[in-house]
Amino acid sequence: MDTLRHILVLLILIVNCQLSIVNCQTLVYLEHAETLSFDDETYAGAQLLKGNVRFRHEDAFMYCDSAYFYEEQNSLDAFGNVRFVQGDTLFGYSDRLFYNGDTKFARMRENVKLIDKSTVLETDSLNFDRVADVAWYWTGGQISDSLNVLTSHWGQYQSKLSQALFKTDVHLINDRFVMDADTLKYNTKTHVADILGPTTILYEEETTITTTLGWYNTNNEKSMLLNRSFIEHTDGKTMIGDTIFYDKKSGFGQAFHNMELTDSTQHVTLYGHYGEMYEKKDSVGSRGFATDSALMVDWSDSAAFTYMHADTLFMDEILYTDTIGLETDSISPILLDTSYRQIRAYHGARVYREDMQAVADSAVYNSRDSIMSLFGKPVCWSDNQQIAADHIDIYMKNDSVDYAHGVGNCIAIQQQTPKYFNQMAGKEMYAYIREGELRQVDVTGNAETVFFPQDEKSGDWLGVNKTQSSFVKLFIKEQKIDHVVFTTATTGTMYPIDHLSEAETHLSQFFWADNVRPRDPNDVFRNPDVEDETSITRPLDELRTIDENEAGQKENKSNRKNAGKLTDNHSSPK
């Protein structure tokens, strides 16, 4: 029994000692003052302290010129040259301090400055909850570190986490950019800003970022932008995406889902669900590409946009030096640094314009020469006309299609009825378009034709005219054959229309691919089924390289000197 009594007494003593220690830890101690006085009538229960006053509360010290110390309430009011020190890293300065030792709550007023290592908080009024390790202001303040200065109407800072939160009129200033936000989190160790509301970032007056959610590392200038963000450069290039990763230092951007990459100076936009952007660096122009539902829209011609789809689309800015003026003995030509764009489409290219449609395995468009080159079973349409070749170049003039040049296994087809097709085939072909309509087709090199002439008055079919010659010109008016010009060395036969089978009215290269023709801008995304694709059978299945085609173009350079001219040197009757 005595043993149990002794154990109980011992436990009570231990608990009392622990409570005593806890109570000692929460007491505010006056460590120094030059004078001490009392004025119970004016300041009941207060010790009036003056001269180098110093208090201690746990690991915190408070210094001031004068103070009211309420020992029973375990609180104090400090005035003049107030200094608050917690540990060896946190220092606070103000004109006035109100501190409660029981709640460990400090209120600092007038000319407030809180320093945590390299982080400095400045404001007029600051509350500091030592238990929660949170300091906050509400009348406007500033937090600065080695890289940035942040100001806002309301803000808070947590020293242990090195984390700050800003709200209302947030403004971040960096040597290279400024950031304006509604709500922002910022870590003074990592220098990463967490974007939590509408935010605009202006980088050296050359790049503007607009977003509502994401993060921006102000140290390495990498960012992740969410919620449909927008990057705009002063040179007219922009990137939009639901999610964007952006590295400003390297000039690289990645966009995910609903991506838009626009060059407003060149009037072209790339769309897709994934894309990348490489900004202009030194002598290398900007680059970009899109994939996953990729689409290019050329809006340089407001009357006829060009829509191009492929598995992958590339947009390159090519820098070069242009020469203006002619060099003379006294005057040197002016050298002008300029650029042009190149669009490359790979695998399953489909193009739609009101005046022309096309499909091919791949395509390249060069804005300097205004040429669109089609490779790999290219087929083009205009009205009820179809042309195809191993390789086709489409020449633009004043933002409209001027003419097309085909090389190798060329064939031009005009549909008269579902059964009857006028046809021209040869080694090389030019097709001229005026005012959005096909007006003339020239075929050279083992030219073959199949025509279905009609009686002008009755409209009855007169037969099937099949010819062979070295050169043929076909003139079209109102989507019908107006007349045909042959060379003198031409052989041909007119057959009664019912004497030939349907297959015998087709040239060996004949195919009609209207089922894969893009019908409108949205139709460029249509992927023709296997039956549609296999219906485009060509004698040459292997895609020639670009170099081989360019060599073929040089060989026919003399023919192209007169390209674009409508000629009619030898007319034949209709």
Q: Are 556 and 407 in contact (CB under 8 A)?
A: yes
pLDDT along the chain (574 residues), means of 10: 55 47 69 92 90 95 96 96 94 97 96 96 97 96 96 96 97 96 96 97 93 96 96 92 95 95 89 92 80 91 85 87 60 63 92 91 88 93 90 86 91 90 92 81 89 83 88 80 76 86 88 92 79 38 37 42 38 33
Does this model's pTM top 0.85? My answer is no
How many angstroms separate the CA atoms of 461 and 484, rounded? 17
- So what's the pLDDT on residue 352? 94
How does DSSP classify residue 554? H
The H or E element spanning position 398 is none
How many angstroms separate the CA atoms of 563 and 201, rounded? 51
Residue 205 CA to chain centroid, in angstroms? 19
* Nearest in space to 180 (alpha carbons), one of 216, 145, 147, 228: 216
- So what's the pLDDT on residue 461? 85
How many angstroms separate the CA atoms of 37 and 31, rounded? 15
| Residue 391 Cα distances to 306, 308, 521, 547, angstroms | 20, 18, 24, 12
How does DSSP classify residue 514? G
Residue with tokens 């669900």, as numbered in its chain: 273
Residue 345 has which token pair? 């489409």
How many angstroms separate the CA atoms of 233 and 202, rounded? 10
Q: Which amino acid is residue 312, in one-letter code?
A: T
- So what's the pLDDT on residue 542? 32
- So what's the pLDDT on residue 530? 35
How many angstroms separate the CA atoms of 182 and 193, rounded? 13
How many angstroms separate the CA atoms of 47 and 39, rounded? 8
**Other Cβ atoms within 10 Å of 162 Cβ, number:** 18
- So what's the pLDDT on residue 367? 81
How many angstroms separate the CA atoms of 425 and 343, rounded? 30
Domains defined along the chain, listed by start: 256-352 (no CATH), 358-518 (2.60.450.10)
Q: Cα dihedral sign for 122, 91, 182, 193?
A: positive
Residue 370 CA to chain centroid, in angstroms? 25
How many angstroms separate the CA atoms of 426 and 407, rounded? 9
Over the Cα atoms of the chain, what is R_g?
Answer: 41
**Other Cβ atoms within 10 Å of 170 Cβ, number:** 25
